[in-house]
Amino acid sequence: MANTWGDATLPTGLVTFLVGDDEERIEHVSKANLCVRSVFFRTMFGIGMKERDAAEVTVLETDLASFTALVRYLLTDQLDLGEGEGEQARRALVLRQLAHKYQVPRLELLCAQALQESVAPATAVPLLEAAHTTGDGRLLAQCRRFVADHAAEVRASGGVEQLRDLGVAKGLLGDALDQVAELKGALRSHS
């Protein structure tokens, strides 16, 4: 908050965000507070930009809950991933992408940490596919290892049926075949 004091270049006033295709509203958000927490907003509401004096700004390609969580984090420094294991993982994925887009590196790291902590039988496969899609090598490796180490639990949770990406399915099959080969090698060496 100290950064809002004495900076004449900060915009004054409030903004209402119209989020998603349905233009759901997040109303009366301080432009100055957003600007001191995010380089993206600092640019968006900067001198010479049309949004500086705009009362409303449209935000596409996200949902209200995730964008609200971004705004809440910027204003309160509190991370809100919602309720329930699957919902928290999904929100952390979307929020991490928003944090990257809106240049909030600390939030991006908090979301990455939350994702790593949320790997479980029911979430491992969807997180694996998301990590593959977004190029998150660390999460990808963690999910692959989790699936290999907890195959029965992942299968019982319906994880295998959740697979949609053929590339991920091929990778998991390759991992399983490698494990079988290792086990056969270990059996041969003990016989």
* Token pair for 45: 């509401």
Least confident of 44-48, 91-95, 113-117, 171-175: 171-175
Domain count, the chain: 1
Contact between residue 120 and residue 105 where contact means Cβ atoms under 8 Å apart: no
Average of pLDDT values for 170-184?
Answer: 75
Predicted local distance difference test score (pLDDT) of residue 29: 97
pLDDT tier at 165, thresholds 50, 70, 90:
low
Residue 171 covered by a domain: yes
Residue 86 covered by a domain: no
Contact between residue 19 and residue 25 where contact means Cβ atoms under 8 Å apart: yes
3-state secondary structure of 40: helix
pLDDT tier at 103, thresholds 50, 70, 90:
very high
Contact between residue 154 and residue 181 where contact means Cβ atoms under 8 Å apart: no
* Token pair for 39: 């380089």
Is the pLDDT at 133 greater than 70, yes or no?
A: yes
- Per-residue pLDDT tens digits for 139-161: 888 988 998 899 889 989 987 77
Least confident of 31-35, 38-42, 159-163, 183-187: 159-163
pTM, 2 dp:
0.77
State the angle between helix axes of 166-190 and 137-149 in degrees (0 to 180), rounded to the nearest 10.
50
Length of the chain as a residue count: 191
Average of pLDDT values for 42-71?
Answer: 93
- Whole-angstrom distance, CA of residue 170 vs CA of residue 137: 17
Residue 179 covered by a domain: yes
Token pair 């449209």 is found at 58
Predicted local distance difference test score (pLDDT) of residue 175: 76
Residue 67 covered by a domain: no
Residue 127 covered by a domain: yes
Backbone φ and ψ of 14, nearest 5°: -115, 160
The parent domain of residue 153 ranges over: 119-190
Burial class (CB in 10 A: 0-12, 13-18, 19+), 74: buried
Residue 129 covered by a domain: yes
Residue 135 covered by a domain: yes
Residue 180 covered by a domain: yes
Q: Which helix (H) or strand (E) holds 117?
A: helix 105-117
> Residues with Cβ < 8 Å from 115, sequence gap 6 or more?
89, 92, 93, 96, 127, 136, 139
Contact between residue 17 and residue 71 where contact means Cβ atoms under 8 Å apart: yes
